[in-house]
Structure 1
Amino acid sequence: MGVDGAVDADTRWYAEHLVAALRALARPVLVADWRGFWRPRSLRFEFGRDDPDTYYDSWLDVPGVYRELLAPLGEPSGRRWVESLYDPQTDRASRAPRQDAPDDAVLVFAGSFLLKDDVRWGFDAVVHLTTSDAAIRRRVPAEDAARVLGGWNRYLAEDSPADAAAVVLRCEDPRHPAELLRE
């Protein structure tokens, strides 16, 4: 399962609640975050720290996500996964160990752009958090707002994530989500 949203804090908050609900149902849960699969800073910032197109196109190491996380967990049994490839604090490889995953485990992955064409097929279901530009500006550091909004609005225009998501939640205030019902 993916939790897709523009604001990292929101996707992590909802993912934590989803993890708690799944664990309450006695399901084994694996947790990962898109920051653990970012490309190195030198590649992310190749065209500047604030470039929204690079943010949208190149921050996530999509081949790494598939190779180390989604493809292995898509196997029916004998699954081994890596929870991260990258440590954003040190800007180095995380060296996370390969771990066994129970056959009935559920992955909860929090991040942005999870319903892009090159990413979405790896998830059985994605919860999409829709957030106004004003709410994003309130919850993202001012120095990141132009990059996040530019990349996010491109994502909305090109990928129509609300149409592809299993569930869409309006997330103006994460403490009070509203499910958007579609026909």
Structure 2
Amino acid sequence: MGITPVTPELLVADVTELVAARPGRVRLAVDGPPPTAPRALADAVAIGLRARGRATVVVDTADYLRPASLRFELGRTDPDMFLDGWLDVGGLRREVLEPAAPDGSGRVLPRLWDARTDRAHRDSYVDLPADGVVVLAGALLLGRGLPVDLAVHLRMNEKALARRLPEDERWTLPAYARYATENTPEKIADLLVLADHPDRPAVQRYELRDKDCGRGGS
């Protein structure tokens, strides 16, 4: 288990290969705070997988937040609620991750809730084939029972995160600190990416194993 410096392009290739090596449907979580750009990595991996003939749907957790009346119940800048109460975990399981399981229906809803308008999206379901892939991108994903098959964690240390977060988002720092301590995402991830400098990442690979800890069932 060593640390290997890589370029952003090699990181995309590495994650793509990690998924492509698995037969059947795959549910990949790309987890990291906004400055690590998990959605950008997810989109790039999706392009690589589609080029290999694997139908891939990218789901952004920003489209699976709970309604404002629930998210902001304790105020708009409560870090504990940000960690524990913003993400619609039930919706993700029901509309994305359980249908994308090997024995699931394959009917995946890419977007559920528009947080900007605080209304439901009007997306249509996508039918995922037997070897299709769902890439779930966002922050604070691991250790909360989401049923995924592979996980990549983009880790940025507290000082780097404080520097790179916009000033109006720094109230979330205690949530990320709690997440690192309580959820220990690096112990759940199949691939840990050291992303203090996103243009110069390094990867720390773990042997693939049954990591039920922090993940749901199938």
State the match for 1:81 in structure 2: 108
Q: Is 2:164 aligned against 1:139?
A: yes
Distance (Å, rounded) in 2 between the aligned partners of 1:25 and 1:138: 38
State the match for 1:67 in structure 2: 94
Q: Is the 1:78–1:103 contact (alpha carbons within 8 Å) kept by the matching residues of 2?
A: no
The one-letter code of the counterpart of 1:105 is G
Q: What's the TM-score once normalised by structure 1's chain length?
A: 0.91
- Per the alignment, do residues 91 and 76 of structure 1 end up closer, same or farther by CA in structure 2, a change over 3 Å counting? same
Distance (Å, rounded) in 2 between the aligned partners of 1:78 and 1:145: 40
* Unpaired runs of at least 5, structure 2: 1-27, 208-218
- Per the alignment, do residues 127 and 27 of structure 1 end up closer, same or farther by CA in structure 2, a change over 3 Å counting? same
Residues 4-41 of structure 1 deviation map (CA, whole Å, 9 limit, x = unaligned) = 01226611121122112212322111110001110012
- Per the alignment, do residues 2 and 88 of structure 1 end up closer, same or farther by CA in structure 2, a change over 3 Å counting? same
Instruction: Give 1:159 shift.
Output: 1.1
State the match for 1:124 in structure 2: 149
SS of 2:116's partner is coil
The one-letter code of the counterpart of 1:160 is T
State the match for 1:100 in structure 2: 127
Instruction: Give 1:89 shift.
Output: 2.1
Higher helix share: 1
Identical amino acids, percent of aligned pairs: 38
* Unpaired runs of at least 5, structure 1: none
Instruction: Give 1:157 shift.
Output: 0.8
Q: Is the 1:7–1:139 contact (alpha carbons within 8 Å) kept by the matching residues of 2?
A: no
Distance (Å, rounded) in 1 between the aligned partners of 2:174 and 2:139: 13
The one-letter code of the counterpart of 1:80 is R
State the match for 1:167 in structure 2: 191
State the match for 1:150 in structure 2: 174
Residues 95-117 of structure 1 deviation map (CA, whole Å, 9 limit, x = unaligned) = 22222111111111101122123
- Per the alignment, do residues 152 and 100 of structure 1 end up closer, same or farther by CA in structure 2, a change over 3 Å counting? same
- Per the alignment, do residues 130 and 113 of structure 1 end up closer, same or farther by CA in structure 2, a change over 3 Å counting? same
Q: Is the 1:8–1:111 contact (alpha carbons within 8 Å) kept by the matching residues of 2?
A: no
The one-letter code of the counterpart of 2:185 is P
The one-letter code of the counterpart of 2:148 is F
**What RMSD, in angstroms, separates the aligned Cα atoms of the two structures?**
1.7
Q: Is 2:203 aligned against 1:176?
A: no
The one-letter code of the counterpart of 2:74 is F
SS of 1:165's partner is coil
Q: Is 2:137 aligned against 1:110?
A: yes
Hey, which bits of structure 1, 4+ residues long, moved more than 6 A? none
Q: Is the 1:37–1:64 contact (alpha carbons within 8 Å) kept by the matching residues of 2?
A: yes
State the match for 1:7 in structure 2: 34
Q: Is 2:75 aligned against 1:48?
A: yes
SS of 1:68's partner is helix
Q: Is the 2:31–2:152 contact (alpha carbons within 8 Å) kept by the matching residues of 1?
A: yes
SS of 2:192's partner is strand
Distance (Å, rounded) in 2 between the aligned partners of 1:157 and 1:5: 15
